[in-house]
Amino acid sequence: MKSKKKIVLAYSGGLDTSIILKWLQENYDAEVIAYTADVGQEMDKKKIINNAKKLGVKNIIINDLKDVFVKDYVYPMIRGHALYEGTYLLGTSIARPLIAKDQVRIAKKFKAFAVSHGSTGKGNDQVRFELGYYYFAPKIKVIAPWRIWTMNSRSDLIKYAKKNKIPIPKDKKGAPPFSVDDNLFHTSTEGKALENPKSFAPEFIYQRTISPEKAPNKSSFVTINFKNGDPYGINGKKTSPAKLLEKLNQLAGKNGIGRVDLVENRFIGIKSRGVYETPGGTLLLHAHRAIESVTLDKETMHKKDEIMPRYAELIYNGYWFSKERFKLQKIIDNKRNKVNGSVKLKLYKGNITIYSRLTKSNKEKFKNFLLGKTDVLIGTHSIIKNQDVLKKASLLVVDEEHRFGVKDKEKIIEVSPRCNFLSMSATPIPRTLQFALSGIRNISTLLTAPVERRPITVSYTHLRAHETKANLVCRLLR
């Protein structure tokens, strides 16, 4: 006996995808495999299995992709500081490529001739899913029921469900006031309750954050630890990517952090209002920018900011697996090996404050300063003449910036290759030193002095008494 053709359906267990499942069985005379990707959404596995079995499904697959989702999709996007139209953290957009990839893997495993999804014909998700399908299986057939069937309204769906004895939840009998899509990274809400941009979003639509007004009156603190550009722990404790994001979601959510109300420009050309909640992701974005501020050079940071809008747009439009996105990711990750350390955040009523930044290089430099092992050389342009002293310095702070040309700086590097260099103009020497210690430098900074130390004092020794404001060697003492 010839076996039936197979279709792998992205199945949620809800009314819409249950109707699609039955419709596929009827119209394609095919065995439908129900596939669910667990990317951290609110889901009832028993309900999914029971609803699929009632429709005669033999193969029901639920794959836990939460760690893969965070590690291989969310984290690279955070490294790129991706914000679509300056606001949206792309929570829905970033999940679709992974779901599509794994759905195709299942289709190949079962030798299915087609894959199917429940996205409508007016949204972005149809594009995101199908670009993913075709990237991994260029010849596979894609079935998008909402674009080809004759059912055009909620009442049509209800009639079809009743006819085929598909259970109809009470809240699905009328047109819903809003629809929700969620995963571990975010929750998006859209629909009738939000269609009028003049109206304020009602509080009852929020799923995972409380309003800032109702947040605790006491600040919360959290430290996020980074290695090679990715978070790996909270408050010094290493944890898996999924659990890390889950903990940050809880902490930020209870402090009213991560809400965005946006009227966005969809890929297909229409405007749509959505309310997005990305509590943990908002903390990660702030913390990652903060750790890069003390580990990356200006040119690298500015280049990342320059390409970010295009990078975000590619993700939003579904081009995660495109050559252009891969190319931009290489630029973004060019110096990620330098992004190591920790950032402490202060959370209070919807606000995030950078409390401190700490890198290993900062810590070592401060340790040397406090132990009196580091020479700081301060002076004017004439400092380059005193090479014997210059060789001993690990930090050079100079005035008269306008007099320092490229050749002068190259000479300093040649004489003292390990010397960090900061030039300031028209600044008194003590003030220049103060700037250096507060981190306004073009090399890795001295931003986070241990708070338990006593204040640093400075003693000055003149090399040449007759030189004005020049050639002073300072040793920092405790």
As annotated, the active-site residues are: 16, 96, 125, 179
List alpha helices for 15-74, DSSP H.
Answer: 15-28, 45-54, 66-69
Angle between helices 91-109 and 298-316 (to 10 degrees): 60
Collapsed DSSP state (helix, strand, coil) of residue 116: strand
Token representation of residue 422: 């900061």
Q: Are 66 and 40 in contact (CB under 8 A)?
A: yes
Q: Are 195 and 175 in contact (CB under 8 A)?
A: no
* Spatial CA neighbour of 228 closest among 77, 94, 112, 339: 339
Going by C-beta distance under 8 Å and a sequence separation of 6 or more, which residues neighbour residue 95?
Answer: 39, 69, 73, 183, 185
* Spatial CA neighbour of 99 closest among 180, 163, 27, 184: 184
Q: Taking the CB of residue 272, how many other CB atoms lie within 10 A of it?
A: 16
* Spatial CA neighbour of 57 closest among 21, 10, 27, 29: 21
Going by C-beta distance under 8 Å and a sequence separation of 6 or more, which residues neighbour residue 211?
Answer: 203, 256
Burial classification of residue 408, based on how many CB atoms lie within 10 Å of its CB (0-12 exposed, 13-18 middle, 19 or more buried): middle
User: What are the phi and psi torsion angles at 203 (to 5°)?
Assistant: -65, -30
Token representation of residue 286: 């702030």
d(CA 27, CA 7): 12
Amino acid at site 441: R
Token representation of residue 62: 């639920």
d(CA 103, CA 133): 8
Token representation of residue 123: 């949204």
Q: Are 301 and 309 in contact (CB under 8 A)?
A: no
Q: What is the torsional sign of CA 284, 289, 291, 297?
A: positive
Token representation of residue 221: 């603190």
Amino acid at site 211: S
* Spatial CA neighbour of 347 closest among 445, 246, 252, 454: 252
Collapsed DSSP state (helix, strand, coil) of residue 425: coil
Q: Taking the CB of residue 465, how many other CB atoms lie within 10 A of it?
A: 6
